[in-house]
A and B are shown apart, each in its own frame.
Chain A
Amino acid sequence: MAKRAAPEVNAGSMADIAFLLLIFFLVTTTIEKDKGLLRSLPPIDDTEVEPPVIRQKNLFTVNINRNNQLLVEEEEIPISQLRQAAIDFLDNGGGTNPAGQRCDYCKGNRSEDSSDHPDKAIISMKHDRETTYEKYMDVQNELVAAYNFLREREASRLYKQYYPNADKVFTAMLEEKDKNQFSKDEVLNDRIETIKKLFPMKLSEAEPDKK
Chain B
Amino acid sequence: MSKFRKKDKGGLPAISTASLPDIVFMLLFFFMVATVMRDSTLMIENQLPSADQVEKLQKDRTIFIYGGKPSDMYKQFGKEPRIQFNDAFITVEEVQSSVMQGINDLTEELQSRVVIGLKVDKNTNAGLVSDIKQELRKANALKVMYIANSKNDDL
User: Are A and B a genuine interacting pair, yes or no?
Assistant: yes
Tell me the A residues contacting B by CB distance below 8 Å: 2-3, 5-6, 8-9, 11, 14-15, 18-19, 21-22, 25-26, 29, 31-44, 64, 127-138, 140-141, 144-145, 148, 178, 205, 207-208
Main secondary structure of the interface of B (DSSP, over half): mixed
A/B pair count, beta carbons within 8 Å: 168
Interface hub of A38, A145, A148 (most chain B Cβ within 10 A): A38
Tell me the B residues contacting A by CB distance below 8 Å: 9-10, 12-13, 15-16, 18-19, 22-23, 25-26, 29-30, 33-34, 36, 49-57, 59, 62, 67, 115, 117-130, 133-134, 136-138, 140, 142-150
Known pairs A21-B26, A38-B143; A131 contacts B51 (CB<8 A): no
The residue from A5, A9, A36, A129 contacting B117, defined by CB atoms under 8 A apart:
A36
Closest chain-A Cβ to B67's Cβ sits at a distance in Å of 8
| Chain A, residue nearest B33 (CB) | A29
| Chain B, residue nearest A130 (CB) | B125
Cα–Cα, bound, A26→B62 (Å) = 27
A-B contacts besides A26-B33, A29-B30, 9 pairs, CB < 8 Å: A3-B9, A6-B13, A11-B18, A18-B25, A41-B143, A129-B127, A133-B128, A134-B123, A178-B56
Main secondary structure of the interface of A (DSSP, over half): mixed
Closest chain-B Cβ to A15's Cβ sits at a distance in Å of 4
Closest chain-A Cβ to B145's Cβ sits at a distance in Å of 4
Closest chain-A Cβ to B33's Cβ sits at a distance in Å of 5
Docked-complex contact B145 and A144, CB < 8 angstroms: no
Interface hub of A9, A37, A148 (most chain B Cβ within 10 A): A37
Docked-complex contact B127 and A19, CB < 8 angstroms: no
Docked-complex contact A37 and B148, CB < 8 angstroms: yes
Determine the chain A residues whose CB is within 8 A of the CB of B56 once the complex forms. Answer: 33, 35, 178
Determine the chain B residues whose CB is within 8 A of the CB of A208 once the complex forms. Answer: 126-127, 130
Docked-complex contact A35 and B19, CB < 8 angstroms: no
Determine the chain B residues whose CB is within 8 A of the CB of A8 once the complex forms. Answer: 13, 15-16
Cα–Cα, bound, A34→B150 (Å) = 9
Cα–Cα, bound, A106→B41 (Å) = 50
Listed by A's residue number, 23 A-B pairs whose Cβ atoms lie within 8 Å are: A5-B12, A5-B13, A14-B23, A15-B19, A18-B19, A19-B26, A21-B26, A22-B26, A25-B30, A36-B147, A37-B146, A39-B143, A40-B142, A43-B140, A132-B122, A132-B125, A136-B126, A136-B129, A144-B53, A145-B53, A207-B134, A208-B127, A208-B130
